[in-house]
Structure 1
Amino acid sequence: MSQSEILREYLQQYFGHDDFRLGQRQVVESILQGENVLAVFPTGSGKSLCYQLPAIMLPGITLVISPLISLMKDQVDQLSQRGIPSTFISSILSEEELLKRMHDLRQGKYKVIYIAPERFYSEGFIDALKGLHVSFVAVDEAHCISQWGHSFRPAYLRIKDLIEQVGSPIVGAFTATANRRVQEDIVRLLGLKEYRLFVSGFDRPNLEFRIEMPRDKQEFVLKFVKKNLGKPGIIYAATRKTVEDLYSLLINRGIPAGMYHAGLSSQDRVIAQDDFTRGKTTVMVATNAFGMGIDKSDIRYIIHYNMPRSLEHYYQEVGRAGRDGKLASCILLYSEEDYHLNRALININYPSVALVESVYNRVLEAGDKGIALDVLLKGNISKQILHSAVRKLIEYNYVKLKSGVIYPFLSGRKFELTQEEIDQHKKVELEKLDKMVEYCLSKRCLRCNILEYFNEEPTFTKCGSCSVCGLAADGTKRKFIDDLLKGILNVNAQTHVSNTEETGEADAALLDVLKRVRERIAQKTGVPRQAVFDDSTLERMAALKPVTRKQLFKIDAGIEQRKVELFADEFLLEIHRYLRKKTIV
């Protein structure tokens, strides 16, 4: 049996899929061939399968490093249901449960082990790993290792040491949001001397981007939600109070809404998430604490009531919409006040190092018995600033929080955080905020702005589906684009290539666009250009301008079905854009 057949068998047996999504096969095959990889795939494109499938097939065990405890738990539950022995190890476990899992770990009872990054500070945990055969280390949310990433986690800097201590296994780094600068940081800080880079296109053609500046944001939200009753949507707000106010507004108008923020109990958050996932509530009002690991493909709109702090945060959050491939709206309600609110939140999040050290000393004085968080937050200093000092201590793994009590993470650990470190990270956040404002005020295509930010060269100057390029009030363009997307996915669409162009020559401008698309696909998948589509096929495309898969088969009956499944949609979308310039723009 060939490797391709074995891969397909494992894919069907353990994950229930008949084929891979674009880019997945190449990443999996590279890992199985012993190559290190860095994969930058958009939210919802199936990154987890790229490390879970090799984990099953490789000898020994796989370590998956992730900062998202709720996501770790969900993935371990899913793997266990599929008959793959897995577990996760993090600070939320009781001491008794932690010891049990560590014992089972040493006994070799697990195939996949998810680790929260704070484990790297535990010498006992590292020693336990040294006695095991670790064949693969997968680093999820890999942008956390870079100070230029949008969620820097200092503990990620220790991954390089971990890799060396467990025998330098294969390494896979995965992220949804990393521009070139962050990619270079990931490679350098993980110590990857040789690796393969896979970058999937950031463009989500079914997402419609809008910047709105309403006088009354609440009135805008209420009207929009009423107009779209029954359609699942998420409304993101910057503060808990704003979330609660919007939730009350919707509930009082009889709209089935849910609410989610970090101030709610874990039980209330689970109930709110389950109700939304199952459709009991159609609107979720939330802070950015909501969204990771949400398995809901039919979200039709996402409204940002407040401007996010960075384009990375923004694109990750809107990426939860329209995962079923159908049209979805992404609306950002901009106001100058949001800029000042975000600056204030950033300033609060970066307290003085003297205050952070003072709070740490109080925790050390309490010793093993710990100190209640509520007690720690009392004093003459702002509760918000004190809370930020605690968050910095947790972030840098000086303390841990369990059941509302703060404990030293390691007994007697010396305080080494500097003011320079805090100031540098604050500076990065402020620079990202400025870029976010530039996006909101831009007079250029919003989609182009996003793609360029993530170092992807657009093949168009107007997308026709953002508030800058123009959206007809009667929904004409919206419906047109939605119909195009449906047509592409419908191999049996009852449409035909125009007979008037059957004998025409290739459109030179379109051919140039298609060649750039091919180059982009070749770079991100590692497939040779001619193996994507050869020159003669591109020339026929540029002459006949197919807009559905069936039309593509019609111009060349010899095109492989597999190539159409993997590559065709990006070409067809560019042909749509090209034709749209002549018709509706």
Structure 2
Amino acid sequence: MTPPEDLLKRYWGYSSFLPHQKEIIGSVLKGQDTLAIMATGGGKSLCYQLPALCLGGLTVVVSPLISLMKDQVDDLNERGILAVAFNSSMEYRVRTKIEADLKNGKIRLLFVSPERCMQAGFLDLIKAAPIRLIAVDEAHCISEWGHNFRPEYRQLAQLKKLFPAVPLVALTATAIPEVRRDICQQLGISDAHEFVGSFNRKNLMYRVVEKKNPKILLLTFLSRHQHESGIIYCMSKKETEEVARDLRRRGYNAQAYHAGLSKQVRTKVQDGFIKNTITIVCATIAFGMGIDKPDVRFVIHYDIPKTVESYYQETGRAGRDGRPSECVLFYSRGDIARVRSMLEHDHMTERNLRASLRKLQEMTEYCEAITCRRRFLLSYFGEESPDEHCTSCDNCNHPAARNDGTEPARLIVECVKELSSNFGIDLITDLLRGSTCARIRDYHLDALAAYGTGKQYSKAQYRTWINELVRQGYLARTGDRYLVIGMTDKGEDLLRGKNRVMLPAQEKMKTKTTKAPRARPAAEPVVTSARDTDLFLQLRALRRSIAEQGGIPPFMVFPDKTLREMARIRPCDRESFLQISGVGEVKVKRYGPAFIEVIRGCSEES
């Protein structure tokens, strides 16, 4: 068997693995069922693509989207690896040829949807093939506790029963411990070796801004990102079209993408975005899974996502090339009410509704947090943050001033204790502010000692403070469908005078409209001199021409990171060209002469 390191260099042009890749590949090559959780951009695909070369025979890859299959197949074929996608959109003659190639052992990787995979005809076809590995990509789709649950993924449990001796590797970018357990159980790989990479995307800047005048906010942000690729996620189909239309009127190359558009239109928009003929896509969550575009410089959430998992995965589509990128979320309490109403009218079971509302509350807590956002995300996925302050989120770069808030904290905790049963933040706030609303009268809360004792503070201030008291453990939040605030032992200690409490000094939902600094520079070398920049631009022009002729995205020829290294090092022969990161043997043969010619010409002119 050829060593994995040799294949990595030969086909992908890299001399070392990313974190966890080598261990995951080693587990698969030992024939062990494996679960791999790796952040977007962490190199999940390599964890089954490279073993497919080592093991020989056939690797079956279950993938949820035809567009995702096409991107991976095109990329593998560009590297000289024979891969095909088997789906309903192909012509009969193409399908017949694939079936013949399978029987003759010519195909190394076969991509298929979960629906197609479990059809009797397809199973009969692959039973006759020398299957060496089964890979389930985007495996979170199998769990009803995940954020993109697809019932058809549940059928994949049969694969392990039909092919018990074939190792199965399940991969996803986002899965909390509960979802990881469900993935293994549903796939029948309870003894799987589990590898969980870091969820810390250091090159991403996280920001939450108050959603006032969102169109102005959006235009202000985009003015700093002229000609850069980005995704704007919206809650509704109508909103995607309105935002895209408004941006086009202002000269931006933007298009809408949602499930209500025809397949042809969706394909055209996605291809245009990947090939850089469309700069901005305004989309619902129907867009993005598996989008392998490295140079997305920003992801904007025009509305609040339903879950932290979906938010993390969607923001993860930014900065896959490792360069600084921004993730901005426009937040308002009104959007929470909209999402809650949508969930309550979604005809789901009471059990699933409670789980969905709990996840929405977790997303709300992220938006209203006054501590490090990166730390919040890492903690959510079970990872401990190495730093108290990340310097790459708005809360760390513009921390809220804190004062001794013991007195307002005691007011709040006393109010919660005095209530005969638990209530939510809004009612507690109304009670403290002396509101005359119907709920206060109906429950006769205006007779309580706490009524009107905190008129001097605003609703927004109370919301911030109560959330912070929950975070610090002086109060507790319980319930799923209806969230309520209750007492804790630590809160009792506060009332006994045992603690002093630091609280935010200003009214703050922690949603700044101030301009945050860019993320920290990526570790990769960048083009710095005018001489190198000129060559880099010439190489990009050559790449664009080659990509257009081949009908593939430019990054499939070479990514920007590789072009920058070429511009800096200037390889002028085959051997030195092969030393560039991202240049494999197939690509040096296919593209090397043209790029070397441009490099030589630029060097001679210098």
CA contact (8 A) 1:464 1:477 kept: no
Give the 3 Å change call, closer, same or farther, for CA 27–129 of structure 1 in structure 2.
Answer: same
> Does 2:248 correspond to 1:251?
yes
Partner of residue 357 from structure 2, selected from 411, 430, 436: 430
Gaps of 5+ in 2: 400-511, 529-580, 582-606
- 1:150-169 alignment runs, 5 A limit: 150-169=147-166
Q: Kindly report which structure 2 residues correspond to 1:347-358, keeping only aligned pairs within 5 A, or say none.
A: 347-350=344-347
Aligned with 2:6 (options 2, 6, 9): 9
Find 1:467's aligned residue among 371, 388, 394.
Answer: 394
Aligned to 1:478: 517
Q: Does 1:45 align with 2:42?
A: yes
The residue number in structure 2 matching 1:64 is: 61
Name 2:16's counterpart in structure 1: 19
CA distance in 1, matches of 2:515, 2:255: 32
Q: Which residue of 1 aligns with 2:573?
A: none
Aligned pairs (5 A) from 1:448-467? 448-467=375-394
Aligned partners of 2:140 and 2:172 also within 8 Å: yes
Tell me the C-alpha RMSD between the 2 structures.
Answer: 2.9
Contact 2:33 2:169 in 1 (8 A): yes
In the TM superposition, what is the alpha-carbon distance from 1:348 to its structure 2 partner?
Answer: 4.9
Q: Distance in 2 between matches of 1:139 and 1:429?
A: 25
Pick from 235, 240, 244: which aligns with 2:237?
A: 240
Instruction: Map 1:367-516 onto structure 2 (within 5 A).
Output: 422-471=349-398, 478=517, 482=520, 485-486=521-522, 488-489=523-524
- State whether residues 126 and 162 of structure 1, in contact with CA within 8 Å, keep that contact through their aligned partners in structure 2: no
Q: 1:451 to 1:102 in 2, by over 3 A?
A: same
Distance 2:190 2:391 in 1: 42
Compute the displacement of 1:489 (Å). Answer: 4.3
- Counterpart amino acid of residue 293 in structure 1: G
Is 2:301 the counterpart of 1:304? yes
> Aligned residue for 2:173?
176
Q: Which residue of 2 aligns with 1:190?
A: 187
Q: Bigger shift: 158-167 or 200-209?
A: 158-167
Query: CA contact under 8 A between 2:176 and 2:380: conserved in structure 1?
Result: yes
For residues 474 and 240 of structure 1, the distance between their equivalents in structure 2, rounded to whole angstroms, comes to: 26
Partner SS for 1:259 = strand
Matched, 1:214 2:211: yes
State whether residues 79 and 86 of structure 1, in contact with CA within 8 Å, keep that contact through their aligned partners in structure 2. yes
Match of 1:124 among 115, 121, 124: 121
Is this contact kept in 1: 2:141–2:153, CA < 8 A? yes
CA distance in 2, matches of 1:474, 1:238: 21
Equivalent pair of 2:208/2:330 in contact (CA under 8 Å): yes
- Give, in angstroms, the shift of residue 311 of structure 1: 0.9
Does the 8 Å CA contact 1:471/1:478 hold for their aligned counterparts? no
Report Cα offsets for 1:338-371 as digits up to 9, x if no partner.
22322343345437xxxxxxxxxxxxxxxxxxxx
* Cα pair 1:62 1:113 within 8 Å, conserved: yes
Q: Is the 8 A contact 1:62 1:137 kept in 2?
A: yes
Question: Partner of 1:35 in structure 2?
Answer: 32
Distance 2:233 2:117 in 1: 33
CA distance in 1, matches of 2:516, 2:229: 22
| TM-score, normalised via structure 2 length | 0.64
Q: Distance in 2 between matches of 1:247 and 1:208?
A: 24
- 1:398-429 per-position Cα deviation (integer Å, ceiling 9, x unaligned): xxxxxxxxxxxxxxxxxxxxxxxx55444433
Which shows bigger deviation, 266-275 or 315-324? 266-275
User: Which residue identity lines up with residue 80 of structure 1 in the other structure?
Assistant: N
Aligned twin of 1:139:
136
Verify the 8 A CA contact 1:8 1:18 in the aligned structure 2: yes
CA deviation vs aligned residue, 1:200-259 (integer Å, no higher than 9, x gap): 110112211111113211111112112332232221111111111111211112222232
Alpha-carbon offset, residue 120 of structure 1: 4.7
Separation in structure 2 between the aligned mates of residue 140 and residue 283 of structure 1, nearest angstrom: 26
CA change 1:57–1:325 in 2 (3 A) is same
Counterparts in 2 of 1:252 and 1:97: CA distance versus 1, 3 Å: same
Give the AA of the match of 1:265.
Answer: S
Quickly say closer, same or farther: Cα 1:118–1:474, change in 2 above 3 A.
closer
Identity across the alignment (%): 40
Which residue of the partner structure matches residue 537 of structure 1? none
1:162-218 per-residue CA deviation (whole Å, 9 max, x = no partner) reads 222124311111010011111111222222243322111101122111111132111
* Partner deviation per Cα, 1:98-135 (whole Å, 9 max, x = no partner): 55544543444422111211135422322333233222
| Secondary structure, aligned partner of 1:331 | strand
Q: In 2 relative to 1, CA 161–275 (structure 1 residues): closer, same or farther, beyond 3 Å?
A: closer
2:145 to 144, 148, 163: 148
Cα distance, 1:297 vs. partner?
Answer: 2.3
Partner SS for 2:385? coil
Q: Which residue of 2 aligns with 1:325?
A: 322
Secondary structure, in 3 states, of the residue corresponding to 2:45? Answer: helix
2:41–2:321 CA contact under 8 A, matched in 1: no
1:513-549 deviation digits (Å, cap 9, x = unpaired): xxxxxxxxxxxxxxxxxxxxxxxxxxxxxxxxxxxxx
Query: Which amino acid is 2:390 matched to?
Result: C
TM-fit CA distance, 1:82:
3.2
Q: For 1:478, what is the secondary structure of its paired residue?
A: coil
- Check conservation: 1:237, 1:286, Cα contact below 8 A: yes
Give CA-to-partner distance per residue, 1:12-42, whole Å, 9 cap, x none: 2222333222221221122112222111000
What do the CA deviations read for 1:547-581 (whole angstroms, capped 9, x no partner)? xxxxxxxxxxxxxxxxxx9xxxxxxxxxxxxxxxx
2 CA distance for matches of 1:254 and 1:489? 32
- TM-score, reference length from structure 1: 0.66
* Counterpart-to-counterpart distance in 2, 1:160 and 1:281: 39
- Give the letter for the 1:430 counterpart: L
The match for 1:81 is: 78
Segment of structure 1 superposing worse, 26-35 or 176-185: 26-35
* Higher gyration radius (CA): 2
C-alpha change, 1:136 and 1:435, in structure 2 (3 Å) is same
Q: Structure 1 residue 93: deviation in Å?
A: 4.0
Cα gap change, 1:242 to 1:168, in 2 (>3 Å)? same
Cα distance, 1:104–1:350 mapped onto 2, change above 3 Å: farther
The whole-number CA distance in structure 1 between the counterparts of 2:226 and 2:163 is 53
Q: Distance in 2 between matches of 1:427 and 1:103?
A: 50
* Unaligned ranges ≥5, structure 1: 352-421, 494-564, 566-585
Higher deviation after alignment, 329-338 or 281-290: 281-290
Give the 3-state SS of the residue equivalent to 1:451 in structure 2: helix
Distance 1:77 1:477 in 2: 38
Which residue in 2 is equivalent to 1:283?
280
Rate the CA distance shift 1:164–1:229 in 2: closer, same or farther, 3 A: same
How far the C-alpha of 1:460 sits from its partner, in A, is: 2.3
